[in-house]
Amino acid sequence: MPEAEPQKPRSTTRDTETQELGLLAKLVLAALIVLTLAGLLLYGITVEAIQRLWHDLVQRPDAPMRFRFVLQPVMAAIVAIRDGLKDVRAGREPYFWRALGVTRLREGLNATARIILLGIVMDAMYQMIVLGRFYPGEAVIIALVLAFVPYLLLRGPAARIARRLHAASAPRMS
């Protein structure tokens, strides 16, 4: 009777090397590109546009709907911590150093797509209510700064802390 080949253990975590962009992430990426192009075509890159952007960005934390300056980074932090813990369980390298690769950026965009979309919608509402106009480039910048940047900055440290805590709590055999 021929011997059966040993079964390879199945990984329960999703392999990030083959992960594709989800539908929502693709839609968000398309919206970011369209809004950026619209902002460039409508307002261009001028000193006046940059001054307006800076002025609006500095005033926004004190303006109506300021809760989004807390809400979006907190949501991004929660997702980053969750994904950092997944990285530790899967034995993957810290995220930030590998995020410059397209495959890890895909993973980050999939994780933060809802938060980025929420940021664009909230900023569009703010602009229409407070400014009376819509500046698409500013909406993109705000959404990325409040949603993707915190995720990018927090996922790696969350994984490192979890890895150290896990190593410290592991029973040692002598």
DSSP line for the chain: -PPPPPPPPPPSSPPTTSPPPPHHHHHHHHHHHHHHHHHHHHH-S-HHHHHHHHHHHHHGGGSTTTTHHHHHHHHHHHHHHHHHHHHHHHTPPPHHHHTTSHHHHHHHHHHHHHHHHHHHHHHHHHIIIIISS--HHHHHHHHIIIIIHHHHHHHHHHHHHHHHHHHHHSPPP-
pLDDT at 7: 47
Asked, for residue 3, whether it belongs to a domain, the answer is no
Asked, for residue 14, whether it belongs to a domain, the answer is no
Number of domains observed in the structure of the chain: 1
pTM over 0.85: no
Asked, for residue 56, whether it belongs to a domain, the answer is yes
Asked, for residue 66, whether it belongs to a domain, the answer is yes
Asked, for residue 75, whether it belongs to a domain, the answer is yes
Asked, for residue 45, whether it belongs to a domain, the answer is yes
Asked, for residue 37, whether it belongs to a domain, the answer is yes
Asked, for residue 6, whether it belongs to a domain, the answer is no
pLDDT at 150: 92
The boundaries of the domain holding residue 139 are 23-168
Pick out the chain residues at pLDDT < 70. Answer: 1-18, 96-101, 170-174
How many Cα atoms are found within 13 Å in the side-chain-facing hemisphere of 29? Answer: 13
